Amino acid sequence: MNIQLMEFPRHMDEYGSLVPIEASDSVPFDIKRVYYIYGVEKGVRRGFHSHADLEQVLICVSGHVRILVKTPWEEQEIFLDDPQKGLYIGPMVWREMFDFSGDAVLLVLAGDHYKVEDYIRDYNKYEQIARQYFTENQ
Ligand code: TYD
């Protein structure tokens, strides 16, 4: 489905924990952009888009959040509550983020700069393009 759960190694000692992330090594692309989402009010659902080309890894570095990932054929709900876990989302996967805890910080590593033209925000249009994409890339 073009998604993958990944687990990063953690260096833990009496001073706390550290999780290093190396571009192309810990994640399967060169990181060109980092952003984080936080302060999301209870009941808010966001995302509602797919990307045509962009690859991303989502890491909930504090608190917890649920991610719905969806293609025209299947969908999964993933609970992120561990700073050691990352959710890789490849191109052409519809995503929605919801159930943010009050302390949630969702860190996103992206393989490209912000490009408005890479977003597909209309679900019907997404379905149409995704059917073709997955048929051609099977
Ligand atoms: P948006 O894509 O709507 O967030 P989500 O998909 O999580 O609901 O982005 C919110 C705002 O932030 C929007 O005005 C675009 C802007 N933005 C950037 O300027 N750069 C970025 O890298 C991202 C992801 C968003």
The DSSP secondary structure of 93-135, one letter per residue, reads -EEEEE---TT-EEEEEESS---GGGEE--HHHHHHHHHHHHH
Ligand 1 atom closest to Cα of 97?
Answer: 7
47 in ligand 1 pocket by Cβ < 6 Å? yes
Ligand 1 atom closest to Cα of 114?
Answer: 22
Question: pLDDT tens across 92-134, in order?
Answer: 999 999 999 999 999 999 999 999 999 999 999 999 999 999 9
Q: Is the pLDDT of residue 31 over 90?
A: yes
Cβ atoms 50, 58 nearer than 8 A: no
Average pLDDT over residues 79-87: 98
114 in ligand 1 pocket by Cβ < 6 Å? yes
Selected catalytic residue, list 49, 51, 64, 113:
49
CA distance 111 to 138: 22
Q: Which residue's CA lies nearest to atom 21 of ligand 1?
A: 114
Calculate ∠ Cα 28-95-51, nearest 5°.
Answer: 60
Q: Is the pLDDT of residue 89 over 80?
A: yes
Pocket test for ligand 1, best of 93, 97, 114, 120 (most atoms within 8 A of CB): 114
Give the pLDDT of residue 4. 97
Give the pLDDT of residue 29. 95
Give the pLDDT of residue 118. 98
| 11 carries an active-site annotation | no
* Confidence grade of residue 61 (pLDDT, cut at 50, 70, 90): very high
pTM score of the predicted model: 0.96
